[in-house]
Amino acid sequence: MTIQEQYEHLEKTLRGYNPSADFSRIRNAFEYADQCHNGQKRKSGEPYIIHPLAVAQIVAEELNLDSESIEAALLHDVIEDTPAEHADIARLFSPTIADLVEGVSKLTRIQYATKEDEQMETLRKMLIAMSKDIRVILIKISDRLHNMRTMEYQSPEKQKQKSLETMEIYAPIAHRLGMQRMKWELEDLSLKYLDPVGYQEIVSRLDAKKTEYDMFMQKTRAQVETRLDELGIPHLVYGRVKHPYSIYRKMFSQNKNLDEIFDLFAFRVIVENVGDCYNVLGVIHDIYTPILGRFKDYIGTPKPNGYQSLHTTVMGTDGIPFEVQIRTRSMHEVSEYGVAAHWKYKQNGQGAGAEGKYEWVRRLLENQEGADAEEFIHSLKIDMFADEVFVFTPNGDVQNLPAGATPIDFAYAIHSAVGNRMVGARVNGRIVTFDHTLKNGDIVEILTSKGAKGPSRDWMKIAKSNEARSKIRQWFKKERRDENIVNGRAAFEAELKHCGLSMKDLLGPDRLPVLLKKVTYPSLDDMYAAIGYGGFTAQKAVSRMRGELQRIAKQQAEKQALEASENSSKAEDSHSPAPKQVKSEQGIIVEGLNNCLVKFSKCCTPVPGDEIVGFITRGYGVSVHRSDCPNASPERRADPALSDRWIRVSWGSDTNESYPTTLEVVAKDRLNLLLDVSAALSTTKTFVSGIQCRSTEDGFAIARIEIRVRDGEQMRTIINKLNQISGVLQVTRPSG
């Protein structure tokens, strides 16, 4: 299908469910995105615009979202990957669409200390945008789904990294939003790359037994339909084999093979009303023998994401167990499409309604306040995973908690004051310990006392929910600050000593502000308090400071050497006027501007020695491109709409220690090629951030190497070294 045919297919899909959409605006969004991404290619070699079109198709075909969502899906990468900015989108389309695009974009303009920090801030930003407008996450999940569908073009390392992130974050979010179809596909595609052998084994065994399984499902379906027809209950019955990841998870968690999986088959019975759901349940239990302990009523007790259904597992007439899910049509819509099923169109299919505000998202963000990157990512996984336990208060109110939750989690889920005053707990009328594991259906009563001393530090290890741990941290933060400072300082100084550092290395007036900025605390006492109450660790504090201390020490040594050199030639230069100092940022001097924020464009990754040109980006300073970059071509610089934003820049004398850049190596594919490339980089003492390799069908290998270099001279040395490797045809620096 050509690009134009794909766009026409998108329009046809949209006309099918939203004929009143503004198709001229959608056409404008497509053309603008096509223009912005012009010249960019995907890893598959296709024009980049194919990806936004595919994401928009998912948003339309699988979620039936409004035309603003389609426009935002088409534009979702322009802020991140092209010179276009939020203000441009707001002016050309609307502020709402600009906010949607900004919400979906990664935080690419900021440098982070660790990959976890970058992932945390991107997720936090996305969740904040999602709490204001749920369409942000619907577009993002559609974006991730298309990326996973085309993951075969990425390097094995990237495949595993993205698949793990999808499995741990995006699939749980899809589950939390009730989007089961997308969740299942995301899980299956992730498993395909995380454990290709296990995935292929399950798929091949399912294929081998397809005929046998089909016959069983047809027979069972006919039995159920015949009985329901006799009773005059309107219905729709269909069966399916569980999806590969669901089977995989059961096989490994229960240490079983495929033939031992209890509920390999699942049947759905869709009826008209809730009364019929319970009638059908009686019919199923009459035809087949129910398996004890395998019945769940999610109609009476819906899941937090709105899911409702009756689940029962029964033994079939052939001795094969299977699960039956019984629900109404509206419940089925919510089960398949989740929050997207609730989407209500305003006039002309526009606008986000009150359904965009989700209390659990806001609670999630509040619970992460003060958490560092590792804790944030870890707790996000716990808070959004599918495994949950439902327990009751003595009054019959339902509380849902993470699987493995304890009375401490229950107490803090009721209220922080209940948790802080807790002195004991009863489960089903019996006194239990604080670390007792709660089970579905337990009735939990919390015993409190006004004279309670408050939570113990051990509770942090016992609590399973991030909400409970966050509230315990807040109590210690507020009530025990002096004690926290003493404990935190002791832990910090012990870690410093362990790393061969001392407090005097930190306390210089020129050092301390920089070091505190690295750990993002306003003062040492604040940092000590955070370590004391468990919001931060001494190991992380010292780790982040150590790199900065090493850099300061190196700078001081260079400064002393420079002063010695200047003193020796002072007599010669005493009569000559001192040259005017020009301040540079990251080694870049911007003509006519001082203290200007500078960022290096990822499209061409310039390094000292390259001819460069600057582009003024609204709100983000000056973006520096190589002069030969297609995004800074003479035609673009001559464009009347952009000409006043190009500015002259040059390299200063105080450049950074290193700059990130990328090399692309094309070679004849052979054994040990990557080993030889690694050896060449090692001999030139090059810092390598990452290597991605792929083989082509015609016997060639293409390696994309991300490195850090001092300047163009080191770059030329590396290129010469790589060109000497047997079979290497060319080494280039990608741009555009």
Name the DSSP class of 154. S
What are the structure tokens assigned to 195, written together? 């454990």
User: How many of the other CB atoms lie within 10 Å of CB of 591?
Assistant: 11
CA–CA distance, 715 with 732 (Å, rounded to integer): 11
| Cα four-point dihedral sign 136, 139, 145, 149 | negative
Q: What is the largest CA-CA distance in the chain?
A: 111
Helix, strand, or coil here: 617?
strand
The one catalytic residue in 11, 61, 81, 225 is: 81
80 tagged catalytic = yes
CA–CA distance, 334 with 199 (Å, rounded to integer): 28
360: left (phi over 0), alpha (psi -120 to 50) or beta: alpha
573 tagged catalytic = no
Helix, strand, or coil here: 577?
coil
User: 424-441: string of b/e by CB count within 10 Å (b at 16+)?
Assistant: ebebeeeebebebebeee
Residue 203: its H or E element: helix 196-208
Name the DSSP class of 276. H
CB 552 within 8 A of CB 511: yes
Count how many Cα atoms sit within 13 Å of the Cα of residue 348 in the half-sphere of its side chain: 10
User: 194-212: string of b/e by CB count within 10 Å (b at 16+)?
Assistant: bbeebbeebeeebeeeeee
Of 603, 595, 631, 593, the closest CA to residue 615 belongs to: 631
CB 446 within 8 A of CB 423: no
Of 170, 168, 149, 169, the closest CA to residue 159 belongs to: 149
3-state helix, strand, coil in the chain (%, to 5): 50, 15, 30
The one catalytic residue in 34, 61, 80, 664 is: 80
CB 291 within 8 A of CB 321: yes
CB 10 within 8 A of CB 70: yes
CA–CA distance, 3 with 46 (Å, rounded to integer): 10
CA–CA distance, 378 with 464 (Å, rounded to integer): 11
| Cα four-point dihedral sign 454, 460, 464, 465 | positive
The catalytic site residues sit at 80-81
